[in-house]
Amino acid sequence: MKIVVTGAAGFIGSNLVKGLNARGIDNIIAVDDLTEGDKFRNLADLKIADYIDADDFYELFAEGAFGQVEAVFHEGACSDTMELDGKYMMDNNYTLSCELFHACQDQGTRLLYASSAATYGGSDTFSESPEFEKPLNVYGYSKLLFDQHMRRELGTKFEKAATQVAGFRYFNVYGPREQHKGRMASVAFHQFNQFQAEGKVKLFGEYGGYGAGGQMRDFVFIDDVVTVKLWFFDHPEKSGIFNLGTGRAQPFNDVAMAVINTLRKGENAGPLNLEDAARGGLIDYITFPAALVGKYQSYTQADLSALRATGCQHAFADVQTGVTAYMHWLSSAKT
């Protein structure tokens, strides 16, 4: 069985390769752009059969250069929500994805691709339906346009697909192997480094009708994302667009407290509540950036109805469980 993972050196891509390896699958073609050479670290401890540069892969794949491929996990994309170059974003996230889709259908290859909760943007309802899709940036629009293209080609629920096509709208994913993402890494990653360097973490102050640190997101641990993706890999008859979050919105303050208390425990210090942490200066609430006004989702919570209707009943970790595990991983990686 031959598998392709695009964006394989990235955050979700490398964790998918790790998950496939755990099943004994290593006939994997890893596709990425290693211009940012340090990303190699995400592949160094994994087993793959070959590496192909992203600039070369898509045309070669369309030509059938890799023989029969069972499935493509398409994670390759520009995921910077602050990127303003719309042409670059559309070329990477829309045009290449369309070309890959058609090549997969022609070759009988399954396609499991990354969409995004950014497709909802300014909506307050997070259900996989056009009336709730209101992207706030060109990144979200690029992801939405590909979802719309799939609906036109395959029907509302992708019922016309010749082989499995499944899109996953990731909510706020965090966990190991995201260190290369810079400003786009999760708040948990940044807070780990802030606490190590300064003994405190930073959060946005009041914004959008929410108090300091009170903005709420659906934070989903990377291990859960991989488990769900591999569930769909095991169920090739399941196609469509699916939210991939926990179905549970939690405030950024919950992330901060999980970070602080896990790292304090490592220093043999007792746990604190939010009020004590704020009063003690362990949380620094900063003024909401003007550049994000009108472009920021203050609340997200995945509607899991479509996911559950497939029969996938995976139980997702809450913030305290997932962030605690992540802090242990980051701490061990530092030693």
Which entry of 120, 139, 170, 174 is annotated as an active-site residue? Answer: 139
Tokens of 212: 């300091």
Which residues neighbour 206 within 8 Å (Cβ) at sequence distance 6 or greater?
A: 212, 214, 288
SS3 (DSSP) at 47:
coil
DSSP letter (8 states) at residue 134: B
How far out from the chain centre does Cα 223 lie? 11
7-46 burial, b at 16+ Cβ within 10 Å, e below that, comes to bbbbbbbbbbbbbbeeeebeebbbbbeeeeeebeebbeeb
Which of 2, 181, 202, 295 is an active site residue?
181
- Residue 18 a catalytic site member: no
- Known active-site residue 157: no
In the 8-state DSSP scheme, what is residue 247?
S
> Mapped to the 3 state alphabet, what secondary structure does 174-220 carry?
ECCCCHHHHHHCCHHHHHHHHHHHHCCEEEECCECCECCCCCEECEE
The closest alpha carbon to 166, from 176, 154, 178, belongs to: 154
CB 128 within 8 A of CB 305: no
Which residues are known catalytic residues? 139, 181
